[in-house]
């Protein structure tokens, strides 16, 4: 890992650079795949599954028999863990339900909002080096609570033509049964435009590699909404001299094993902790089954010592981490000063893994500094708010003249007239 001590503020921008993921370079390749799926439907998807996922499928939909077989093959302990996580995610997201309030802005003028579920949503669950069944829960549970009428899940099959059993079991626990064996760009295209098998949706959720990210960006330009921009996953640990070096190292490595392009950063006020964490990372790394992936990630990672906590917080808000773990003596007061982060983990007993799996918060979060402007996935991600207004005679008499004046000043005479004819009907003189 890269050790940095008391960097000047002029160095921060360079210091906090993420691993580059230039999806624009992939647009031509990705667009060609999208266009074929758009015009050829299932036929193109099946060909791409054979080309990219190395599996010859005869059908895309997961059958009830496959779902039953998957459930039978998942161990009881994992089933219990998935059910516990589902309950906590459900409890947290159910508490986010919107409560509408009617507001009388003037006598006789009433305005309000109504929360309405997005009717059709698509969930993408990556395959790759780890089956992300936890992401099924993070996306499907709030979609169900929101009341989305149609929830479609796409995930790549293994070379045996089957979806990982834990993914299918998590889908069942979350109440999702429209599951398709489709991965990569072809999955995003299938959900964006629809095929003979895969329904078209209105919004697509879920993480993926740079090709999936590029596909989501392209289809979102005009045809379908997406959850948020995405890049490689990242964590920052903000710590002082009271932090446990073993805990900090474990937190950094839990991020590093995500992928070679992940980033893990320590920001600390303690030179002694920096050195202790470096040694502990090396010790724990040697024991990891995914050591090679974590090693590559650590090349992007940094252990940074700053002069004081004020500087540490300023640096943190500049970085805007996807995950932020605060291991300081006064972590609650430090947390109050954090304004840019996806999800924050407080105290020495709150690892990022808790939010990744089972505390109840959502792990689909903004990366690459987007936490300065984007929220993570929540119940709101699956709903729209429609505004309503009702104007009674008293109300139009009060605000009508102001509307007329404003419309006339913008030279929109038809706008003005829409009010004038009503005031005339009510016998209001101009």
* pLDDT single digits (tens) 89-106: 999 999 999 999 999 999
Residue 365 is assigned to a structural domain of this protein: yes
- For residue 382, tell me if it sits in a domain: no
Whether residue 258 is annotated as binding a ligand: the answer is: yes
Are residues 313 and 369 both part of a single domain? yes
CA atoms of 178 and 121, how far apart (whole Å) = 11
Q: Are 178 and 240 in the same domain?
A: no
Is 217 marked as binding a ligand?
A: no
- Would residue 10 count as lying in a domain? no
Whether 283 shows a pLDDT value over 70: the answer reads: yes
What integer is the mean pLDDT of 268-274?
Answer: 98
Longest dimension (CA), the chain: 85
The helix or strand, by DSSP H or E, that contains position 379, with its residue range, turns out to be none
CA-to-CA separations, 182 to 53, 193, 215, 280, in angstroms, rounded: 9, 14, 14, 40
Q: Measured between alpha carbons, how far apart are the two ends of the chain, in Å?
A: 75
pLDDT at position 19, please? Answer: 78
pLDDT for 290: 85
Averaged pLDDT for residues 75-90 = 98
Catalytic residue among 257, 322, 327, 352: 322
Write down the pLDDT at residue 50: 97
Residues sharing a CB contact under 8 Å with residue 339, sequence separation 6 or more, in sequence order: 317
| Cβ neighbour number for residue 164 with a 10 Å cutoff | 21
Q: Residue 363 has what pLDDT?
A: 96
Tell me which residue has tokens 């004020």. Answer: 310
Check pLDDT > 80 for residue 130.
Answer: no
Q: What are residue 61's phi and psi, to 5 degrees?
A: -75, 140
Average pLDDT over residues 311-327: 98
For residue 240, say whether it is annotated as part of any ligand binding site: no
- What's the whole-number mean pLDDT along residues 345-362? 97
* Number of domains composing the chain: 3
Query: Tokens 């007061």 belong to which residue?
Result: 333
Q: Residues 193, 154, 324, 279: is their CA dihedral positive or negative?
A: negative
Query: For the domain that residue 158 is a member of, what is the CATH number?
Result: 3.40.50.1980
Please give the Cα distance from 195 to 330 (Å, whole number).
Answer: 54
Confidence of residue 258 (pLDDT cuts 50, 70, 90): confident
Indicate whether 212 and 244 sit together in one domain. Answer: no
Containing structural domain, residue 290: 231-375
Q: Quick one: 365 and 400 in the same domain?
A: no
pLDDT band, residue 423 (cuts 50/70/90): very high
Give the full edge-to-edge strand order of the sheet including 323-327: 2-5, 302-305, 263-268, 234-239, 323-327, 343-346
Domain presence at residue 264? yes
For residue 430, being part of any structural domain is answered with no
Interatomic CA distance for residues 123 and 199, integer angstroms: 12
Tell me if residue 322 is catalytic. yes
Which pLDDT tens digit goes with each residue over 173-196? 999 989 999 999 999 999 999 999
Question: Is there a binding annotation on residue 233?
Answer: yes
Label residue 37 by pLDDT band (50, 70, 90): very high
What local confidence, expressed as pLDDT, does residue 109 receive?
Answer: 98
Examine the pLDDT at 297 and tell me if it is beyond 90.
no
Q: Is 106 annotated as a binding residue?
A: no
Q: Where are the alpha helices (DSSP H) in 74-106?
A: 76-94
For residues 81 and 217, state if they share a domain.
Answer: yes
Question: Do residue 294 and residue 219 come from a single domain?
Answer: no
- Radius of gyration (C-alpha) of the chain in whole angstroms: 26
| Burial annotation 5-28 (CB, 10 A radius, 16+ → b, else e) | eebeeeebeebbebbebebeebee
Together in a domain, 357 and 420: no
- Give every CB contact of residue 90 below 8 A, 6+ residues apart in sequence: 141, 145
Indicate whether 428 pLDDT > 90.
Answer: no
> Are the C-beta atoms of residues 317 and 14 closer than 8 Å to each other?
no
Query: Quick one: pLDDT at residue 224?
Result: 97
Read off the pLDDT band of 128 (50, 70, 90). Answer: low
Higher pLDDT, 140 or 209: 140
Residue 234 has pLDDT above 90, yes or no: yes
Better pLDDT: 22 or 155 = 155
Question: Which tens digit of pLDDT belongs to each residue from 391-421?
Answer: 999 999 999 999 999 999 999 999 999 999 9
Mean pLDDT is lowest, of 228-242, 373-387, 402-416, for 228-242
- Directed axis angle between helix 76-94 and helix 133-146, to 10°? 40
356 marked among binding-site residues: yes
Q: Is 254 annotated as a binding residue?
A: no
Structure tokens at 224: 């379908």
CA atoms within 13 A on the CB side of 55: 18
The whole-angstrom separation of Cα 142 and Cα 1 is 38
Catalytic residue among 93, 164, 323, 363: 323
The pairing of strands 383-391 and 109-117 is antiparallel
Please tell me the distance from the alpha carbon of residue 48 to that of residue 30, in angstroms, as a whole number. 12
pLDDT the model gives residue 230: 82
In a domain, 31, yes or no: yes
The last residue of one of the domains, among 191, 226, 261, is: 226
Same-domain status, 245 and 301: yes
Check pLDDT > 90 for residue 145. Answer: yes
Tell whether residue 410 is among the known ligand binding residues: yes
Task: Assess whether 323 carries a catalytic annotation.
Answer: yes
Domain boundary among 206, 226, 246: 226
Q: Is 102 in the same domain as 135?
A: yes
Residue for token pair 């902790």:
273
Record the tokens describing residue 367, joined without a space. 């990366």
Domain boundary pick from 209, 226, 243: 226
pLDDT of 94: 98
**In the predicted model, what is the mean pLDDT of residues 347-352?**
97
* Residue 158 belongs to some domain of the structure: yes
Residues 59 and 181 in one domain: yes
Distance separating alpha carbons of residues 331 and 67, to the nearest angstrom: 44
305-311 contacts at long range (C-beta below 8 A, 24 or more positions apart): 305/4, 305/5, 305/6, 305/268, 305/269, 305/270, 305/271, 305/274, 306/6, 306/7, 306/267, 306/268, 306/269, 307/6, 307/269, 308/269, 309/240, 309/269, 309/334
Please check whether residue 17 lies inside any domain of the structure.
no
Checking if the pLDDT of 129 tops 70, the result is: no
- What's the rounded mean pLDDT across residues 278-284? 96
Q: Are residues 415 and 367 in the same domain?
A: no
pLDDT of 430 > 80? The answer is: no
Among candidates 252, 253, 248, which has minimal Cα distance to 349?
248
Question: Does 259 or 429 have the greater pLDDT score?
Answer: 259
Closest by CA position to 255, among listed 298, 313, 216, 304: 298
What mean pLDDT value characterizes the chain? 95
Residues 327, 264 share a domain: yes
Strand-pairing partners, residue 64, are none
């Amino acid at each position: 890992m890269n050790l940095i001590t008391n960097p000047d503020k002029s160095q921060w921008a360079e210091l906090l650079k993420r691993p580059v993921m230039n999806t624009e370079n992939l647009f031509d390749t990705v667009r060609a795949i999208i266009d074929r799926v758009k015009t050829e439907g299932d036929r193109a998807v099946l060909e791409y599954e054979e080309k990219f996922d190395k599996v010859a499928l005869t059908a895309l939909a997961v059958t009830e028999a496959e779902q039953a077989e998957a459930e039978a093959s998942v161990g009881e302990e994992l089933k219990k863990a998935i059910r516990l996580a589902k309950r906590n995610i459900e409890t947290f997201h159910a508490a986010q339900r919107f409560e509408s309030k009617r507001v009388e802005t003037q006598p006789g003028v009433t305005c309000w909002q109504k929360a309405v579920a997005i009717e059709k949503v698509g969930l993408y669950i990556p395959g790759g080096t780890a089956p992300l069944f936890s992401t099924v829960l993070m996306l499907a549970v709030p979609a169900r609570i929101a009341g989305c009428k149609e929830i479609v899940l796409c995930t790549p099959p293994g070379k045996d033509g089957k979806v990982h059993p834990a993914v299918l079991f998590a889908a069942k626990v979350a109440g999702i049964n429209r599951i398709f064996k489709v991965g990569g760009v072809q999955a995003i295209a299938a959900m964006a435009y629809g095929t003979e098998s895969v329904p078209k949706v209105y919004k697509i959720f879920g993480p993926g590699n740079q090709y999936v990210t590029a596909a989501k960006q392209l289809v979102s330009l005009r045809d379908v909404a997406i959850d948020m921009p995405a890049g490689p996953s990242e964590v920052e640990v903000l710590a002082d001299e009271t932090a446990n070096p073993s805990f900090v190292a474990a937190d950094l490595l839990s991020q590093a094993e995500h992928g070679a392009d992940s980033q893990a950063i320590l920001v600390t006020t303690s030179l002694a902790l920096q050195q202790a964490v470096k040694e502990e990372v090396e010790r724990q790394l040697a024991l990891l089954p995914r050591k090679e992936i974590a090693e590559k990630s650590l090349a992007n990672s940094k252990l940074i010592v700053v002069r004081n906590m004020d500087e540490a917080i300023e640096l943190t808000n500049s970085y805007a981490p996807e995950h932020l773990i605060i291991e300081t003596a006064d972590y609650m007061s430090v947390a109050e000063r954090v304004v840019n982060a996806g999800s924050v983990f407080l105290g020495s007993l709150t690892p990022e893994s808790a939010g990744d799996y089972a505390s109840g918060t959502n792990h689909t979060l903004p990366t690459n500094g987007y936490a300065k402007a984007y929220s993570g996935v929540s119940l709101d991600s699956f709903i729209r708010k429609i505004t309503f207004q009702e104007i009674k005679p008293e109300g139009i008499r009060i605000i009508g003249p102001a509307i007329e004046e404003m419309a006339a000043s913008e030279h929109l005479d038809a706008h003005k007239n829409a009010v004038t004819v009503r005031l005339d009907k009510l016998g209001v003189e101009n």
